Amino acid sequence: MSQPVYTPNPDFVSKARVSGMDAYRALYKQAEENPEQFWGNLAETELHWFQRWSHVFEWNPPFVKWFVGGKTNVCYNCVDRHVLAGKGDQVAFHWEGEPGDKRTITFNDLLALVQKFANVLLAQGLKTGDRAIIYMPMIPEAAVAMLACARLGITHSVVFGGFSAEALKARIQDLEAAAVITADGGWRRGKEVRLKDAVDEALGECPTVKTVVVVQRTKSAQTMAAGRDVWYHEAEANVGDTCPAVELDAEHPLYVLYTSGTTGKPKGILHTTGGYLLQATMTTKWVFDVRDGDVYWCSADIGWVTGHSYIVYGPLSAGVTGVIYEGAPDTPGWDRWWEIVARYKVSVFYTSPTAIRALIRQGDQWPAKHDLSSLRLLGSVGEPINPAAWEWYHRVIGKDRCPIVDTWWQTETGAILIAPMPGATPLKPGSGTLPMPGVIPDIIDLDGNPKGPNQEGYLIIRRPWPSMLRTIWGDPDRYAEQYWGKVQGVYFTGDAARRDEDGYFWVLGRVDDVMNVSGHRLSTMEIESALVKHPAVAEAAVVGKPHEITGQSVCCFVTLKRGDHDVEALGKDLRQWVAHEIGPFARPDEIRFTEALPKTRSGKIMRRLLREIVTSHTVSGDVTTLEDMGVINRLASQQDED
């Protein structure tokens, strides 16, 4: 089957930061042949250092240090240096709350807000080396709190505001946090999400927490514990306006971000200062091609790594104007995002394939209501984007003129590792295309043998990179075993992938999202991509179901686009459709129609839970990242009825 290729528009190429494939190849070759010189030059030209490093990196597998002996500060790089360079009046963030309230924050404003916030933390007795949990809605103070912690060298861990008190408690306990920064609540689909209540519930078993700083957002009644809880608006009235940035070691712990594990114990992924910020900054420039005058919007929540690297740290360090939105994409209507794009003249938009498919399901009339002509670049993050969703995004949102940067990376990688450079790389829908400079990926079997073109295998990274995780908080043995112990000496991503004859990478999903049906290895993503090409299908999730004859059979969970459907006839049609698109061996054994799929709050489909439903009829393990437990309960009850 021929693969469509979209070459970069000549006008885009002429203005791009990396212009044409020769420029990309030259950059990649420099980084591959002399990584110390490559990253050292970028660190000198792209970041501010209080003290230069003695050497670029120290690699003692599986542990690495970057910019050894260097002193810098992430907050200083994100805010102060832009003000000192005369960009203080430039907008740092346009913010919009779900009810419609708005704020415009310049770099001057941001510097003032961050210094005040840092002084409030100091007044509460916090100091460099302490740890703080940030549990907030998508309001400007969430980013300000992160930057204030970074300014002082307080290691922060942002916990997504939709997490339960139990999930919050587990993270506070693991981090042994001294403080929690929260808000009374936030707005989501017209309802208040009461955050302070969850904090109070969690802190019953968290003796390390001495201080809770509460930002006022919803102004609902709250119970404040004397001697522990302080209102931010009251505390800031009693502190000074200036707070110098602390000179921190390049390897100082910047943040710990928890990812779910199947065991129920979340893993604390540790990112440090200098290397992380450099790669977040450079990938913001390379992948999103940001220029003066751009308005950049990443629709993620700061509770996820995407929000850390591509809402707060990368874009601010790159000096770009951003957009932050508090609410849901369907409130008050399914055109809320497009209304925001039109209002702020957003030029670069970065979202998830899951969000794109949800928007497809609602119909093209919603984006058609708004002028999207300001857009010049679109991005995708979170999981592989299926070609049908890619094509819709390109045609309906990008009007066939915006390149799409399909980005592959992980919480652990800290920054984008595989993605197009939009002024250089020809695009293939569904492929992350080529690696970033300094990233050496490969596809191998479990014995470490490289796979040939178009052969499936395990995606690995052969060399350390500046933004990579340094360890799992409090568990270096688990870090060494999980990421560097599967195949000796290489970083094991846990993803299955193939590389085509042009060297393009096609990520097929997690290793456990590959099924074996009668000896055929089938990628769940491949079958899902085939299903969503069908005109009636909005989303699909595919899992392997135990089968006594074939080993596994293909079980598909499908949501449909709006309209009347004869589901019995459609089920037969879809089974035949997949057989035609991929081959008879891939024909689904079962098609189950559902109103919704189980997703994390960042929009990823939780196939692990679907596998549990079809194998054991129950759900165990960690469900703290699940957005709506009701979806799983309904699917499990349907299973019982079957």
CA-based angle 382:433:425, to the nearest 5? 120
User: 161-170, 176-185, 212-221, 621-630: which range is least confident on average?
Assistant: 621-630
For 550-571, the pLDDT digits (tens) are: 668 899 999 999 888 899 999 9
Structural domain includes residue 456: no
Highest mean pLDDT out of 122-126, 355-359, 481-485, 602-606? 122-126
Lowest mean pLDDT among 349-353, 382-386, 472-476, 587-591: 382-386
* 596 has pLDDT over 80: yes
Give the model confidence (pLDDT) of 499-542 as tens digits: 999 999 999 877 767 676 765 667 787 789 889 989 999 999 99
**Residues 67-85 pLDDT 10s:** 999 999 999 999 999 999 9
Cα atoms in the Cβ-side hemisphere of radius 13 Å centred on 136? 28
Between these two residues, 616 and 411, which has the higher pLDDT value? 411
Please state the pTM of the whole predicted model. 0.86
Please report, to the nearest 10 degrees, the dihedral formed by the alpha carbons of residues 3, 353, 471, 433 taken in order. 20
189: pLDDT strictly greater than 80? yes
Rounded distance, CA 578 to CA 599, Å?
A: 24
Tokens for 248, please give them. Answer: 């921190």
**Angstrom distances, CA of residue 227 to CA of 21, 109, 180, 209, 400:** 60, 30, 14, 12, 58
Predicted local distance difference test score (pLDDT) of residue 563: 85
Position 182 confidence tier, pLDDT thresholds 50, 70, 90: very high
Please spell the DSSP secondary structure of 286-331, one letter per residue.
HHH---TT-EEEE-S-TTSHHHIIIIIIHHHHTT-EEEEE-S-TTS
Q: Find the CATH number of the domain harbouring 597.
A: 3.30.300.30
Q: Could you check whether the bond before residue 8 is cis, i.e. omega within 30 degrees of 0? A: no
What is the rounded average pLDDT of the residues 23-33? 98
398 lies in some domain: no
The boundaries of the domain holding residue 518 are 512-641
Distances (CA, A) of 402 to 131, 280, 288, 393, 419: 42, 23, 12, 9, 15
Residues in a beta bridge with 268:
258
- What is the per-residue pLDDT across 338-375, written as a single tens digit (0 to 9) for each? 999 999 999 999 999 888 988 998 999 999 999 999 99
636 is a domain residue: yes
Q: Is residue 614 part of a domain?
A: yes
The answer as to whether 70 is a domain residue is no
Residue 275 has pLDDT above 80, yes or no: yes
Per-residue pLDDT, 530: 86
pLDDT of res. 606 = 86
CA distances from 362 to 302, 339, 390, 426, 571 (A): 26, 16, 16, 30, 21
Mean pLDDT of the chain: 93
Taking each continuous run of H as one helix and of E as one strand, the counts in the chain are 22, 30
Rounded to an integer, the average pLDDT of 208-213 is 98
Residue 472 lies in a domain: no
In-domain check, residue 507: no
pLDDT band for position 641 (cuts 50, 70, 90): low
Query: Quick one: average pLDDT of 573-583?
Result: 87
> Quick check: 582 pLDDT over 90?
no
Could you give the CA distance from residue 153 to residue 251 in angstroms, rounded to a whole number? 11
Q: Look at 379-383, 406-410, 496-500, 545-549 and tell me which has the smallest mean pLDDT.
A: 545-549
The count of structural domains within the chain is: 1
Residue type, 248: L
pLDDT band, residue 407 (cuts 50/70/90) = very high
Average pLDDT value for residue range 468-483: 96
Cα-based angle 202, 206, 208 (whole degrees, multiple of 5): 140
The two three-digit tokens of residue 318, written as one number: 């790159």
Segment 216-264, tens digit of pLDDT: 999 999 999 999 999 999 999 999 999 999 999 999 999 999 986 544 4
Cα atoms found within 13 Å of the Cα of residue 477, Cβ hemisphere only: 0
pLDDT, position 444: 96
At residue 140, the pLDDT reads 98
The CA distance from 267 to 478, in Å, is 9
- Write the burial class of residue 640 (CB in 10 Å: 0-12 exposed, 13-18 middle, 19+ buried): exposed
Q: What is the pLDDT of residue 195?
A: 96
The confidence score (pLDDT) of residue 545 equals: 86
Q: Say which range, 171-180, 387-396, 617-626, has the weakest mean pLDDT.
A: 617-626
Strand partners, 296: 322, 348
Query: Does residue 466 sit in helix, strand or coil?
Result: coil
pLDDT above 90 (res 414): yes
pLDDT at 263: 43
Average of per-residue pLDDT across 477-500:
93
Give the confidence band of 633 by pLDDT, cuts at 50, 70, 90.
confident
3-class secondary-structure state, position 605:
strand
Q: Is residue 577 in some structural domain?
A: yes
Q: What is the pLDDT of residue 262?
A: 43
- Token digits of residue 418: 């595989």
**Which residue in this structure is represented by tokens 């054991």?**
616
